[in-house]
């Protein structure tokens, strides 16, 4: 029986550790029949080591999504490797330390601008860099952390994720004519490298212990990875501009 991504070619960003959603997305994508290529920054060698733990070998290319030169050559590099693309996974987020951990009112604009550029604007710039390879349409899937609420310690990453969510909707509007879908997975907290960079992360994560209807496991990124793979597949052919919650149902519970 063939997998739901059989014959698909997918670019995946953000594979840093085995505990990341991006790694589990890559693993599941390969198991479901996709050819993949990974991007990494600032340490491609780290991603190359992690990539050896995937079911099949895959190429890793350096990509700084804030670097126009990197973005400008991306289509050529990926095209040589895969010939084209059917899917793109945006698993990129960053905020300087002074934009996190309860410093919201004192964060300088320069740090806010960095968070917005890397975490939100990059969804548009990455997609546009890949668009020439998506001649037959395709699926763009990003990762968010529910921006409807103000979370403890999350500070300017909250507005950055809100901008990411709005960006995804506008991209869905403008890319639909090219049969390119753009959706997001809103995952619950996970003990990834990104989480460890948030001061007081345990305070944020503890909300799930009390409010999530389904038991949430901080050590299990696979449910979120499955959500990404499902949106990459042809099983959601007319879904775009959507945010699918993979958070144990917490988003539906008021208190």
pLDDT value, residue 255: 76
167 occurs within a structural domain: yes
pLDDT value, residue 178: 98
pLDDT values of the chain reduced to their tens digit, one per residue, 255 residues:
689 999 999 999 999 999 999 999 999 999 999 999 999 998 899 999 999 999 999 999 999 999 999 999 999 999 999 999 999 999 999 999 999 999 999 999 999 999 999 999 999 999 999 999 999 999 999 999 999 999 988 999 999 999 999 999 999 999 999 999 999 999 999 876 566 666 667 777 888 988 999 999 999 999 999 999 999 999 999 999 999 999 999 999 987
Asked whether residue 92 is marked as a ligand-binding residue, the answer is yes
Q: Which of 161, 177, 196, 219 is catalytic?
A: 161
Asked whether residue 20 is marked as a ligand-binding residue, the answer is yes
240 occurs within a structural domain: yes
pLDDT value, residue 161: 98
Asked whether residue 161 is marked as a ligand-binding residue, the answer is yes
pLDDT value, residue 193: 57
pLDDT value, residue 196: 63
162 occurs within a structural domain: yes
pLDDT value, residue 202: 77
211 occurs within a structural domain: yes
Asked whether residue 196 is marked as a ligand-binding residue, the answer is no
Is residue 161 part of the annotated active site? The answer reads yes
- Residue 245 burial (10 A CB sphere; 0-12, 13-18, 19+): middle
The range of the structural domain enclosing residue 128 comes to 7-246
Asked whether residue 86 is marked as a ligand-binding residue, the answer is no
Split into its structural domains, the chain has a count of 1
24 occurs within a structural domain: yes
Is residue 154 part of the annotated active site? The answer reads yes
Asked whether residue 202 is marked as a ligand-binding residue, the answer is no
115 occurs within a structural domain: yes
191 occurs within a structural domain: yes
Q: Which of 53, 149, 154, 219 is catalytic?
A: 154
pLDDT value, residue 1: 62
Here the CATH number for the domain that contains residue 99 is: 3.40.50.720
254 occurs within a structural domain: no
């Amino acid at each position: 029986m063939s997998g739901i991504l059989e014959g698909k070619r997918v670019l995946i960003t953000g594979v840093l550790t085995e505990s990341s959603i991006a790694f589990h997305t890559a693993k599941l994508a390969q198991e479901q029949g996709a050819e993949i290529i990974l991007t990494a920054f600032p340490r491609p060698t780290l991603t190359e080591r992690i990539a050896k733990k995937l079911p099949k070998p895959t190429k890793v290319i350096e990509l700084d999504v804030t670097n126009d030169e990197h973005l400008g050559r991306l289509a050529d590099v990926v095209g040589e490797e895969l010939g084209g693309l059917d899917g793109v996974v945006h698993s990129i987020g960053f905020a300087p330390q002074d934009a996190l951990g309860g410093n919201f009112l004192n964060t300088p604009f320069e740090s806010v601008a960095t968070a917005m550029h890397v975490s939100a604007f990059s969804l548009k710039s990455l997609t546009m860099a890949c668009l020439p390879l998506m001649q037959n349409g395709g699926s763009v899937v990003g990762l968010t952390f529910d921006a409807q609420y103000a979370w403890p310690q999350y500070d300017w990453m909250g507005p950055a994720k809100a901008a990411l969510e709005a960006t995804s909707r506008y991209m869905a509007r403008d890319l639909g004519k090219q049969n390119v879908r753009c959706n997001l997975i809103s995952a619950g907290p996970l003990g990834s490298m990104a989480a460890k960079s948030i001061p007081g992360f345990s305070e944020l994560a503890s909300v799930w212990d009390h409010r999530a209807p389904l038991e949430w496991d901080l050590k299990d990124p696979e449910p979120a990875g499955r959500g990404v793979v499902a949106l990459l597949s042809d099983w959601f052919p007319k879904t775009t501009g959507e945010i699918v919650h993979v958070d144990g149902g917490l988003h539906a519970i008021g208190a």
